[in-house]
A = this chain, B = another copy of it.
Amino acid sequence: MKILIVEDEPKIGNYLRQGLTEAGFIIDLARDGLDGLHLALTEDYNLAILDVMLPGIDGWEVLQGIRRAGKEMPVLFLTARDSVDDRVKGLELGADDYLVKPFAFSELLARVRTVLRRGGMTKEYEFLRAADLELDLIRHRVDRSGQKINLTSKEFALLELLMRRQGEVIPRSLIASQVWDMNFDSDTNVIEVAIRRLRAKVDDGFEPKLIHTIRGMGYVLEVAE
């Protein structure tokens, strides 16, 4: 599997190259948009990872150049912290996924693998919904009945887990491993507290209640029957 990385910051570029090489990919690294586009058009890649901010021509232009030349390889964007619009724009221009800096390397690897597996079939432009609750995975934004809800990262991760598997009872052990990356430790109640905070933001003052406790098992998110 051959991957093209276009990234001007040497630190990030080298880091990505090293990590992905270790993961068994063949990497070409371009330091600016022009080089990147040139490589993209002359070589064959299974995936391109483009930084949006590049000297010379930016990531979008590279993407457009690639598409204009009829190249169909999937493209993954790296965008800066808060530039939500960049992400949307990127996806509209035909990127397949995006990643917000700073990101965990494991996260990048997961995305890379997903995109490669799909072979560029589905875009990662996703919403999750339950009743009047809507979770925007791209903007990392949540609202209920049109009201914006601010969640911290742990809260978001927890809600995302519950939403992705709506109607299923999520055991506490799964929550612990997914959201905290740790095994269950009986003498802490972080999960309960986190659920409490989440309920306060997501369920308090709204109907129907969405987060339900299943005694001895875990939690479910569903519109109760």
Chain A residues packing against B (C-beta within 8 Å): 9, 11-12, 15, 81, 101-106, 171, 173, 176-177, 180-185, 187-188
By the criterion CB–CB under 8 Å, are B12 and A184 in contact?
yes
Contact B185 A81 (CB under 8 A): yes
21 chain-A/chain-B pairs, Cβ below 8 angstroms: A9-B184, A11-B171, A11-B173, A11-B184, A12-B183, A12-B184, A15-B177, A15-B183, A81-B187, A101-B183, A101-B185, A102-B176, A102-B180, A102-B182, A102-B183, A102-B184, A102-B185, A102-B188, A103-B182, A104-B183, A105-B183
Residue of B nearest to A19 (CB): B177
Majority-rule SS of A interface residues? loop
Q: A105 contacts which chain B residues (CB < 8 A)?
A: 177, 181-183
Tell me, rounded to whole Å, the shortest Cβ–Cβ distance linking A16 to chain B: 8
